[in-house]
Amino acid sequence: MITPVILCGGSGTRLWPVSRKSYPKQFSRLVGNETLFQASAKRLSGAVDSLSFAAPMILTGSDFRFIVTEQLAEVGIDPGAILIEPESRNTAPAILAAAMHLIAADPEAIMLVAPSDHVVPDITAFHSAVSKGLAAITDGKLVTFGIKPTHAETAYGYLELAAQPNESGTAVNLKQFVEKPDEARAQDMFEAGTFMWNAGIFLFKAKDIIAAFEAHALDLTGPVMNAVTNAKTDLGFLRLDPDAWAQAEDISIDYAVMERAANLAVVPFDAGWSDLGGWDAIWREFGPDENGVVTSGDATPIECENSLLRSDSENLEVVGIGLKNIMVIAMNDAVLVADMSRAQDVKEAVAALKAKGAAQATAFPKDHRPWGWFESLIIGDRFQVKRIHVHPGGALSLQSHFHRSEHWIVVEGTARVTIDDDVKLVTENQSVYLPLGCVHRMENPGKVPMVLIEVQTGSYIGEDDIIRYEDIYSRGQGAKG
């Protein structure tokens, strides 16, 4: 039995504006009808192709915990442990925490560690590669998966094999890790045949990776063990102890262990893979037409070449005329226009927006909550208009505000509204007024989504103007709790 360990705490800034800190790329439907996270979880679920997977363990941040459970429920997957990282400390502490949690229940636990934002079209071939990796870990090896390069890529790290891959695709000893190369070095490695892209996917026994940390990154073991031992259960989540976690070094698994360990093996994989690390990767994944053009959403190209036109907002039409080697990604609050060759530099735009204090740098237009989501339609000095979507059975916390009053107009479904001691149903085309300071809540008692328009007025309309009295999701105080 293999326990998948899915890492989904990254921010994916190179896919801005669709991927942002508050709602990163793994939770978006960038390709296909499923999110990258959902596709990753399905790829690592059940008994398939002679492999048997346990319920997946998820490591994520507090703000994403309900998104994780909601998206897994949508694809019919019941997760195992969901470990909440108090703050991002990179992959080494996260993987070590997963291993320590697993080994407490099963000293022989096998873990398959995978990012949540990769695309692997041929699932059968991937399972075959995992099976070949299982043969190697019986000898105490730490197995990583290397992707056979399709071109000389400068955005990836590489794995140098000790020998040419054999036709059977079995594991080959690793000679060394290679940092992201320049163009000339990337071309040499591509032609050599003994270099693979580093996919960041690992397979090993929990006890072997813990031993590797003890040998090569001993300083991490104490803080991480304390964070796991003192973790607190919160609904269906396990919150790692924040004080202990803060003492763990912020470092990747490659730097902490893999580049120092001598017992590494690589399973070559040559059946399609992408980490969607930039808009150029999205362009390749979609498959350009005869003019090299890819469109997504409401986008219209006219005499364009080698370009990507994408609209990620309803009723927002993107039109390109005579574009060459250009990518245009439009949302209702931000538009990215860049040369295709600068795809890896999009993170610089995010840094520039952060420096000027623009909310678009990190905040997503839709703010996802455990009960649904909302988006701001208009914001003024003393007012704000929102669209609020509440899932069936969803309920906002019982709350009050110091600085604003609100009007709610139901436009779809039915809301159960609490205002102080009064509870009533508000149906489509009906409205209700919530005066300043009243204790209130809205719920969706129906079987279909409930949508309402909220008009806020007051001296301060920030999301942190909220006091929670009751909450079915056990959130604390603050904007999101």
| Residue 385: per-residue pLDDT | 96
pLDDT tens digit sequence for 299-327: 999 999 999 999 998 889 999 999 999 99
What's the whole-number average pLDDT of the chain?
91
Per-residue pLDDT of 231-250, as tens digits, reads 999 888 999 999 999 999 99
The hierarchical CATH code for the domain 2-268 is 3.90.550.10
Instruction: Tell me what pLDDT residue 85 has.
Output: 95
Confidence (pLDDT) at 478: 66
Q: pLDDT tens digit string along 182-231?
A: 888 889 888 888 888 999 999 999 999 999 999 999 999 999 999 999 99
Q: Does domain 366-470 have CATH number 2.60.120.10?
A: yes
> Residue 453 above 90 pLDDT?
yes
pTM score of the predicted model: 0.86
pLDDT tier for residue 171 given thresholds of 50, 70 and 90: confident
Distance CA(92)–CA(82), nearest Å, equals 17
Token code pair at residue 311 = 């609209």
What residues does CATH 3.90.550.10 cover in the chain? Answer: 2-268
Cβ pair 397, 470 in contact under 8 A: yes
| Planar angle of CA 346, 369, 6, nearest 5 degrees | 60
**Are 236 and 66 within 8 A, CB to CB?**
no
Q: Going by DSSP bridges, is the β-strand pair 142-147/195-205 parallel, antiparallel, or unpaired?
A: antiparallel
pLDDT band at 409 (very low <50, low <70, confident <90, very high): very high
Residue 258 phi, psi dihedral angles, 5° rounding: -60, -40
Cis peptide before 449 (omega within 30 of 0): no
Q: How many CB atoms lie within 10 A of CB 396?
A: 24
User: What is the torsional sign of CA 6, 7, 13, 18?
Assistant: positive
- For the chain, residues classed under CATH 2.60.120.10 are 366-470
Residue 438 has pLDDT above 70, yes or no: yes
Instruction: Label residue 474 exposed, middle or buried (CB < 10 Å: 0-12, 13-18, 19+).
Output: exposed
Distance CA 267, CA 172 (A): 6
Structure tokens at 375: 């988006």
